[in-house]
Amino acid sequence: MISRRHFLHGAAASGALLGLNELRLPRVSAAEAALRPDAVRLDSGIEPIVRLIEETPRERLLEEIGMRIRKGLAYREVLAGLLLAGVRNIQPRPVGFKFHAVLVVNSAHLASLSSPDEDRWLPIFWALDYFKDSQAADAKAGDWTLGAVEEKAVPAPENAKRAFTDAMDRWDESAADAAVAGLVRSATPQEVFEIFARYGARDFRDIGHKAIYVANSWRTLQVIGWQHAEPVLRSLAYACLERDGGNNPAQSDLPADRPWRRNLPVVDTFRADWTEGKRDENATKEILSAAREASDEEISRRVVELLGRGANADAVWDAVFASGAEMTMRRPNILSLHAVTTANALHFAFRTCREENTRRMLLLQAASFLPLFRGGGKLDGEKLDALDPKSDPTDIEAVFAQIGPDRLGAARSALAYLRTSGDPKPFIDMARKLIFLKGNNAHDYKFSSAVLEDYSHIASPWRERYLAASVFLLKGTTAPENNLVKRTRAALAA
């Protein structure tokens, strides 16, 4: 088994820009180095590992990567190769479905960093295998490949930002593709993120996946190095311009765009010291209640009113998180799941951005999306703030044994456990372990990584209820085992 020191060599936490100075790859044959003439070329240092991931058959890929790791291939190179193989080979439209091979990379990375020694490679190897499945699906759908940028159309550095925002505002794909290349070559990572944060949040198409892609791609680039940004952000710009093949949103009034357009003038009505104030639990309750029945326009207005009365942004975010958790209890399906993962992405952008109007828009969009995730109607079922803890003492094993057979009972048991123990770590560790052992799709990793990260950002008593509600979409001990676990461990130990 690979040592923890070896694994952490290069696996720095998100936020540190890292180079690839330790690349140690075997010699690559001329056949392996061949590349379609119209495909985008990647950084020469990482191209061999990307080609290895692209061309190795699915039934041999884990064993091949395991062998390379034992010979010195570093974690960052595997992570970079995985992301870039997805970016080059999987069409980011729709922004979901097979494209989850790219969207899940950061979630797998976060899970790996938090895992015990014996499990730390499981999320990455699962994602490698999942890429091969998505690659095959893309090939059947037309075999899309990210092409080379049209260099003669790339704007000069001093014009790149304006050219990019103009193209994005017009929903002009070809102009945006050339402009984003110029933007990446001339702007800082922070400047680029500030711009993309707005475009990822401006519409509700693809149920939040645009915002998720913005956050997850930037976070992964912070780990693998900004030298890989250009192909990733070209893919991201193309994804953000996805419009379901319909009318140009710049020239139309479409439902997916209305929250953004309504919120644009609202940001000017915020009180000057809107980031101050108190974390008002009553304000959180009021927004949570509104999210159950109000329209997106009504909930946006309510947020501004509460901020004006002295509540701070954290009180609003607590309500956004709580509403997503409640939806997973009332309707544990793919739409409710994305209320949670989209909130995670928008909150990350809110914490990372520095431009005040962008932060205001992210907060309003996060609240305005809640009725859209609800589906516009009213959901029945248990309310999060009415969830009663189980009266009998319970242990962590009993909580996860109930998931599947009795998820509401598991939520009540989890709430009782979290309140009586005062320590969420055993719950979080077991939740993550069971995803490693039993997770079978990208949403298992996306949802669990979002929940286990956002828990720490929520105030009590909402945080315990938020974590307890997550059992509706987490894995329990009765779920079947993932058949990749043994294969991964064998590949690394051979």
Question: What pLDDT is recorded for position 39?
Answer: 75
d(CA 350, CA 197): 9
Question: What pLDDT is recorded for position 393?
Answer: 64
169 residue type, one letter: D
Which letter does DSSP use for residue 311 in this model? B
Question: What pLDDT is recorded for position 364?
Answer: 98
d(CA 184, CA 59): 36
Domain ranges of the chain: 1-24+34-246, 260-374, 387-472
Question: What pLDDT is recorded for position 15?
Answer: 37
Question: What pLDDT is recorded for position 41?
Answer: 73
Phi/psi region, residue 10 (left: phi>0; alpha: psi -120 to 50; beta: rest), is left
Q: Which two tokens stand for residue 30?
A: 């001329």
> How far, rounded to the nearest angstrom, does the alpha carbon of residue 269 sit from its chain's CA centroid?
30
- Comparing CA positions, the residue from 408, 402, 400, 390 lying closest to residue 426 is 400
Question: What pLDDT is recorded for position 32?
Answer: 35
pTM of the model: 0.92
Question: What pLDDT is recorded for position 181?
Answer: 98
SS (H, E, C) 253-269: CCHHHHHHHHHHHHHHH
Q: What end-to-end distance do the CA atoms of the chain give, in Å?
A: 9
Cβ–Cβ under 8 Å, residues 205 and 199: no
Chunked mean pLDDT (size 10), the chain, 494 residues: 46 37 33 54 90 98 97 96 98 96 97 88 97 97 96 98 98 98 98 98 98 98 97 98 91 97 96 90 96 96 96 97 97 96 98 98 98 88 93 85 93 94 93 95 97 96 96 96 94 90
DSSP string, 445-471: HHHHHHHHHHGGGSPTTHHHHHHHHGG
- Comparing CA positions, the residue from 258, 252, 253 lying closest to residue 204 is 258
Question: What pLDDT is recorded for position 40?
Answer: 81
DSSP string, 156-180: PHHHHHHHHHHHHHHT-HHHHHHHH
